[in-house]
Copies of this chain bind each other. A is one copy, B any other.
Amino acid sequence: VKAPARITLLTDFGAADGYAGAVRGVIAARAPAVRVDDAGHDVPRGDIAAAAAALARYWREYPEGTVHVVVVDPGVGGARAALLVMADGRFGVGPDNGVLTPMLDSPGFESVRVVRNADLFRHPVSATFHGRDVFAPVAAYVAQGGLPGKVGPEAAVPVRLARTEPERTATGSRGVILHADRFGNLATNLPADLVRHAVDVRVGDRSVGPLRATYAAVAPGTPLALIGSDGFLEIAVRDGSAAALPGFGAGITVTVRLAGND
């Protein structure tokens, strides 16, 4: 079975004001056969890093041809450009502010264009709602097989979120907490192969013990370190929130001691 064309939506619009409905309506009118999935509309307002972290969780799960629209866009109407990214056979559409970083930085990255062809837009283009007027119609166009080359020229230097690389140390490795999810679980930049057989993991000064296999390895309320679903080290509290612990949060250093390094 050929996958039907599909668009996903990730925004900070919430589910009260009808903004997501307007985006879906534009797509329904222009691309009636295309399916639209809500990836979520509760990204914290204007939080570009949170949007990028969320996109990283799902964009490659979808089949090739899927168009991922991300609208977390505090600079709407200003000088920032709009982008169409191609990576691993999927498309990304959104503002040029870093939200599309997971696709731009992917090993499967193919190309990126500036969205510039106003013939594709919904008119009049408002100064405050490019989700409806720019991103939705461009996504509808691309999802139906529109030519990327007609959307606009190649982008020279798209905005990417800065990435802190983890380091190997004499006794193991060192990384950093990137962000918290709704559960208060803390993602880090330490890939599984840098932390396997860790005998001690520290968040700042505080030890959360050795690497564990599952949440169930510790008592409820206890912090722990384990490999998260993205293949990176995660700091969590069983049945609780690691983000709520004092001194635990984005930017804090995570130090890992591996077996045989005392």
Contacting pair B40 A226 (CB below 8 A): no
Asked if A17 is at the interface (CB within 8 A of a chain B CB), the reply is yes
Residues of B within 8 A of A24 (CB): 8, 37, 39, 58, 61-62
Give the CA-CA distance A58 to B24 in the complex, in Å: 8
Known: A18-B53, A21-B40, A229-B132. A62 touches B29 (CB 8 A): yes
A100 to B75, CA, bound (A): 33
Most chain B CB within 10 A, of A17, A41, A57, A133, is at A17
If A14-B182, A20-B39 touch, whether A216 touches B78 (CB-CB below 8 Å) is: yes
Interface of A is mostly: loop
Give the CA-CA distance A8 to B38 in the complex, in Å: 13
Within the complex, the shortest CB–CB distance from A60 to chain B, in Å, comes to 8
A239 CB contacts on chain B under 8 angstroms: 46, 74
Contact mask for chain A residues 1-36; partner B; CB cutoff 8 A; 1 contact, 0 none: 111101010100111111111101110110011001
- CA gap between A121 and B189 in the complex, in Å: 26
Binds B, one of A123-131, A193-201, A242-250, A252-260: A123-131
> Do residues B32 and A126 form an inter-chain contact, with CB atoms below 8 A?
no
Would you call B127 and A213 a contact (CB within 8 A)? Answer: yes
CB contact under 8 A between A126 and B227, given known A58-B22, A62-B25, A216-B75: yes
On whether the beta carbons of B61 and A32 are closer than 8 Å, the reply is no
Which residues of B are found within 8 Å of A22, using beta-carbon distances?
Answer: 57-58, 61, 229
Chain B residues whose CB sits within 8 angstroms of the CB of A81 once the complex forms = none
A151 within 8 A of B: no
Q: Does A56 contact B (CB under 8 A)?
A: yes
Seed contacts A78-B214, A128-B234; 10 additional CB < 8 Å A-B pairs: A3-B28, A16-B43, A16-B182, A17-B40, A25-B62, A28-B37, A28-B63, A29-B63, A45-B182, A127-B226
For this complex, 28 residue pairs linking A to B, each with C-beta atoms less than 8 Å apart, are: A3-B32, A6-B28, A14-B40, A15-B41, A16-B50, A16-B182, A17-B181, A18-B39, A18-B53, A21-B37, A21-B39, A21-B54, A21-B58, A22-B61, A24-B37, A24-B39, A24-B61, A45-B183, A46-B239, A76-B214, A77-B214, A77-B215, A78-B215, A126-B227, A128-B185, A128-B226, A128-B229, A128-B234
Q: Which residues of A contact B (CB under 8 A)?
A: 1-4, 6, 8, 10, 13-22, 24-26, 28-29, 32-33, 36-46, 50, 53-63, 66, 74-79, 126-129, 132-133, 181-183, 185, 213-216, 226-229, 234, 236, 239
